[in-house]
Structure 1
Amino acid sequence: MPVSYYVRENKITTPPSYYCQTTAEETLGDDRVAELIHLMNPSITAAQVRTVLQNFQLVVTEQVADGKFVKLKNFVSFMPRIQARLDLPTDDIPSDAVKVAAKIPKELNRAVQNIATYERLGYPSKAPKVVVGYETKTEYPRFIREGYPFRLTGKNIGFDGTDEDLGIFLLDANENEIEQDKIGLNDPSNVIITADFGGEPAGSPNVEKTLLCRNRYTRNGTLREGSYEYVRSMNFISSEQVEMFVAGAEATGPVQAVQHDAEAEECRVEAILKPDNTMTLAIGPYIGEMGTAVILPTGGGEITLQGVTSGVDVILTVADTNAYQALYDFLLTRGRYVLEVCTMDQFGGA
């Protein structure tokens, strides 16, 4: 993703000059940073990363308050600064005189410059844009569940509820469009809906959804639409339906479930396309830590996963080279990470 910027006029100079104002396509918080580190190294869970980040903040706070400088090589330094104006040299300083200063080294600037690309933007379109979407109970990204709150965060997504053309609409893989009429929050940058699938939730291949945000900048203005794609609902795995990671309205997916010997249970499967272009699958309970990620053999094959019911293996397969490539393309298109939340029946055992 490039560094996006607008060109602005500086009218206080003579003659007028121009400067570049950057704009954030996405603001990463603790949770998102933790997810990205987990993707780079699946052996470290996102929860563990969040704990380290919280402890890091605590250590820096305590050490700087103790008058120490904290210097992270080639990254950033933190140090205390006292900002106070004294009438007499013997005056006491205020209790809140100390401020935290940060210094960015040239090595970090150079590292960013070496990989950065740039995108010059025109005037803002005011079109709705969703940046983040997640089910609020689990906070799983891009997971939506019938009857549960789903939060959208972005720009210009709030809408006038008295205008029947505006709002949040769910488009399923069968091109059914359902207006979301249970709105818990309606702000310009945050909307919470209670997900409505328009009836009984459908299993694979009707798992992948798109959320449409429709708005007007002014009451009588042009109708503008933004979309948030690749949202996934619960998949239902049984002996009659074994397809996983199905894209859109396709009938089959690149991964099939082969065997699950436990009683029916809810679980989740993570598929990751790593920076070295290997792919991993891992399984875990609906709530809780994921099991160990397993690297898919190049060209496909069966893999055995552990991480749900104790002592029970779950066997998945990527049938052949074509299925392996299909999974690769699927993950690459969707940001290298996809979470498949499932209800998995007992099937395939002896």
Structure 2
Amino acid sequence: MGGAVVDFSDTSSWKEKNATTLIYAYDFEGKRREGELEKQPHTLGVSLESLSIVETTSWVFKNDDEPSSKTGYALAEHIWGSGRLQVSCLHAFALGTNKNECFDTIAIRIYPTDEESLIKTSRFDKWSFRDGKNQRPSEGWLQDEIGRIDYYSANEYMEKSSVTARLFLDKKSFDALVLKVRAGGALGSVHLVIFADLYQFAYEAAFADFGETRNYGILCADKSSGRTGFTRARLDEMRLVWSALTPAGRGSGADLGTDDFLDEDPHRGQDAVAFAVERVAGDVRHLRDRMDGLYLGSFLLVALLAGFGVSNWMGF
């Protein structure tokens, strides 16, 4: 761009054009210019490092709008996990400041819902906004999605700032997934693809090399309780890898992708030295036994040949 590369670290001079477009200033060939930054749907890959089933029993009152509801204790479940963003970072930024945060990890919460709600709210796929046939809604392409990604800054109640995705599966798929996780099979890895409305610089989208970290932004606002922000999102894909090579017993609450065989090795620490010495001693004993057998075989062979020689000399 002929000057310093613009990023999300300093947004002190940025301003809002509309609900989905921001204007930022930059220097090019000695002149001050303006560029536009648009909120568009992007995919975020997440590799989960933990996965749990969370059960909550709470007292609820009858909802007159739902004939099947009643007053009493009710059990609710959701899937909780945390993971690392794959080749991407999320920037939580606000206008008029140079104090923004960047995340390469994200917490995941997945809830069940009815399939009709998902079908009704998920109106756009990955290519709907690119073919030019549809006009972008005023609040963004994914404004009707019931899922979202939330950012909360650290405050008196939260020690650390966080980014959390609140996503949904239809009830049938959710229940089937919960049963599999509870079965405690050999779950090797879990990968998610989240489809979310995010800001990204056009030059990065066009020229970033394959495998180079992509930078996406969530617009936030500073409030008395701290900085908060959110964007609409959808669970686009969830891939579970069941591996026969993974130690059994993984399931709810399991850590994924770790070298568990190291943790289960009985020959660790000081015992490892004794184990190694015993292995070497055993190899030496085995080698010595083989050498003794070789010497014995050689001696018998020489004796046999000598016997044949004496017999021939005596004329037998």
| TM-score, normalisation: structure 2 | 0.22
Whose helix fraction is larger, Structure 1's or Structure 2's?
Answer: 2
Give the structure with higher Rg (CA): 2
**TM score, norm. by length of structure 1:** 0.21
